Amino acid sequence: MSNKRNHSFLQLGLVIGIAIFLNILGNVFFTHFDLTEDKRFTLTDPTRQMLRNLDAEVYVNVLLEGEFNAGFKRLQRSVSEMLDDFRSETGFITYSYTNPGGGTVDEINARRTELAKEGIVPTNLRIKTTEGTEEKFIYPYAKISYKGRTAVVDLLDEEAVGASPDEKLNTSISQMEYKFANAFHKLQSGAKEVIAFTVGHGELSERERADLQRSLRAYYDVGTFNLDSATVIPQDIKTLIVAKPKAPFNDRDLFLMDQYVMNGGKVLWLIDPLNVELDSLRNQNSYIARDYPLNINDMLFKYGARVNPDLVLDLQCSKIPMVVDQKGSMDLFPWYYFPIIIPNSNHPLVRNLDGINLYFPSSIDTIKTKTPVKKTVLLASSDHSKLQPNITRLNFEILRYGDEIAGSFDKKQIPVALLLEGTFPSFFENRVTQEMQDGLKQINQEYKATSTATRMVVVADGDVARNFVNNKTGQPLALGFNPIDRFTYSNKDFLLNAVEYLRDDAGIIAARGREVKLRLLDTQKAKQEETFWTLLNIAGPLLLLAIFGFVYNWLRKRKYARPA
């Protein structure tokens, strides 16, 4: 009897020892198995590599502490899970939570003033209580410190006008890895990289590109670059954005951009080949679109893309208001010249993006190049589209026919945006003038006939980067927000992705394409079946326990019962 007791104690001690040992291992080595369909708990390979390259302590102060509703608790929990995933890759990350709304009134006000200087503004959160609704300011931000440098991560994506709170939170959680990884990568790189818009050729005005510039400034130094006053485009400019030029580029301008590309520069081309605007059409009722004399078609052709002087029409489009009677009544009609492009490519630059609203876009063809250049179609029209040559007169008569003309939209997947990657041939091969050679000598540079490996994106629509402006206040609206249908399209996400991909050698953008599916509860069905599910959750476990007890006792009696 004593031996059995000792044996039992020994077994108990072994079980306790193994449990303690496994807990110690669990604290030292963090791991998990991701069985989710969308792999939401698995970091992308570029993020892992970036984290492993950290060589100093990273401190993350999350300003998301306090009493929240269920949605913000989910966001708070997701931040902790993401940072724990980061810590599983490196031992240099520590984090803590802070409540900016704690303390006396004077302390809170002083803290808000300091946070505002860093661009950290609160969000007004409404919380339901037994006495009604309570409003409180919260700060869904994280401050990251690394080697004396700091970065701020906005954890909440509130720019999706028309999206529900659950959808906004889901988008925020989907983009969390990218936001943290991108901030870490920028801190590792040191000074902010430079992004420049070309000016001097009738490009989008500062007000028209205001929202894109504001969004880019979160991670880059954003400015303008006038080709007329330059002798060279410095390689410090990581990406050059040519946004809807209207005036021609002379040979000197083209040579500067060509040699910028030859030395590894990246360019985002947002080109309108035709001069066509909706306001002009309203004023004249009809007109023929004319070519912009940009003088860049041959250079793009040399690089592998041809932007055609035509217009892409699509049945999948946004609407415009039109007067329908003599009283001035307005109604909305589909305007086929404003296609909504749904990306169907799996490329990380456009993966999981929603519709992108274009305005009088043109088609793009890929051209065979002298050097190896990979061409990837990023955006293409739907399966119900058509091409209209530039010699066709534009008017509003097309609105009268409605569904009657659907059969003529028989073109499929017309490319409107291309990604070009590889080594590009120089546009000035065998035709460099002495003046160009002298200019290069002044800056101690040599002419290059073939580029180093680089990238460029060509979009056959300059208005993709243009934000609308509030007519009453004069303030720019969010890029992608269409004031007619009150919906925000993914124009800004597409352009931010394009800039990020062009200059991202580390591949961090792969995390931006992550999709976390939103599985919402059907509240109406839940209310109708509330009684059933309540009883099932209460009675179900008790019933299972009773069945288990009955079967266990029956088997035990059957095994140990002895015949009389």
DSSP state string for 282-294: HHHSEEE-EE---
What is d(CA 159, CA 492) in angstroms, rounded to the nearest whole number?
Answer: 10
| Amino acid found at 227 | L
Q: Residues of 484-499 as b/e, b for ≥16 C-beta within 10 angstroms?
A: eeebbbbbbbbbbbbb
- Would you say 44 and 514 are in contact if contact means Cβ atoms under 8 Å apart? yes
Residue 393: inside a domain: yes
| Amino acid found at 347 | H
Query: Would you state the pLDDT for residue 162?
Result: 45
What the block records as the tokens of 44 is 């992308």
Residue 7: inside a domain: no
- Residues 387 and 421 both lie in one domain: yes
**Please, where are the H alpha helices in 353-490?**
434-442
Residue 538: inside a domain: no
Domain count along the chain: 2
Complete DSSP assignment for 57-113: -EEEEE---S---HHHHHHHHHHHHHHHHHHTT-S-EEEEE--TT-S-HHHHHHHHH
Query: Would you state the pLDDT for residue 42?
Result: 76
- Residues 318 and 369 both lie in one domain: yes
- Residues 410 and 290 both lie in one domain: yes
User: For tokens 């954890």, what's the residue?
Assistant: 155
- Residues 127 and 210 both lie in one domain: no
What is d(CA 490, CA 350) in angstroms, rounded to the nearest whole number?
Answer: 10
Q: Which long-range contacts (CB under 8 A, 24 or more apart) does 427-430 make?
A: 427/254, 427/258, 427/298, 427/299, 427/302, 427/303, 428/254, 428/255, 428/258
- Residues 255 and 315 both lie in one domain: yes
Complete DSSP assignment for 312-360: EEESSEEEEEEE-STT--EEEEEEEEEEEE------TTTTT---EE-SS
- Residues 227 and 357 both lie in one domain: yes
Say which CATH number the domain at 31 has. 3.40.30
- Would you say 478 and 492 are in contact if contact means Cβ atoms under 8 Å apart? yes
What is d(CA 46, CA 355) in angstroms, rounded to the nearest whole number?
Answer: 27
Which of residues 433, 465, 489 is at a domain's end? 489
Which residues, in sequence order, are CB contacts of 50 under 8 Å at separation 6+? 181, 184, 185, 188, 506, 508
What stretches of 251-307 adopt beta strand conformation (E)? 266-270, 274-275, 286-288, 290-291, 305-307
**By C-alpha distance, which of 465, 461, 384 is closest to 418?**
461
- Residues 436 and 296 both lie in one domain: yes
What is d(CA 132, CA 129) in angstroms, rounded to the nearest whole number?
Answer: 5
What is d(CA 232, CA 29) in angstroms, rounded to the nearest whole number?
Answer: 52
Query: Would you state the pLDDT for residue 75?
Result: 85
Which of residues 438, 472, 489 is at a domain's end? 489
What is d(CA 337, CA 280) in angstroms, rounded to the nearest whole number?
Answer: 14
Query: Would you state the pLDDT for residue 116?
Result: 81
Give the range of the structural domain holding residue 105, as residue numbers without chain letter.
19-179
Maximum distance among all alpha carbons in the chain?
Answer: 118
Residue 479: inside a domain: yes
- Would you say 305 and 368 are in contact if contact means Cβ atoms under 8 Å apart? no
- Residues 200 and 168 both lie in one domain: no
Q: What is the DSSP letter of 130?
A: T
- Residues 271 and 368 both lie in one domain: yes
- Would you say 52 and 67 are in contact if contact means Cβ atoms under 8 Å apart? no
Residue 269: inside a domain: yes
| Amino acid found at 431 | R
What is d(CA 376, CA 243) in angstroms, rounded to the nearest whole number?
Answer: 21
Residue 529: inside a domain: no
What is d(CA 69, CA 482) in angstroms, rounded to the nearest whole number?
Answer: 31
- Would you say 292 and 477 are in contact if contact means Cβ atoms under 8 Å apart? no
- Residues 216 and 337 both lie in one domain: yes
| Amino acid found at 307 | V
What the block records as the tokens of 13 is 């001690």
- Residues 437 and 294 both lie in one domain: yes
Query: Would you state the pLDDT for residue 48?
Result: 86
What is d(CA 38, CA 515) in angstroms, rounded to the nearest whole number?
Answer: 7
Query: Would you state the pLDDT for residue 262?
Result: 95
Query: Would you state the pLDDT for residue 518?
Result: 46
User: For tokens 């120089």, what's the residue?
Assistant: 426
Q: Residues of 18-34 as b/e, b for ≥16 C-beta within 10 angstroms?
A: eeeeeeeeeeeeeeeee
- Would you say 185 and 58 are in contact if contact means Cβ atoms under 8 Å apart? no
pLDDT per 10-residue tile (average), the chain, 564 residues = 64 76 64 54 80 89 82 85 89 90 83 82 67 72 88 73 62 81 81 90 94 87 91 92 96 94 96 88 78 94 95 92 75 91 89 89 95 96 92 79 78 96 94 86 89 96 93 87 88 92 76 55 66 85 87 78 58
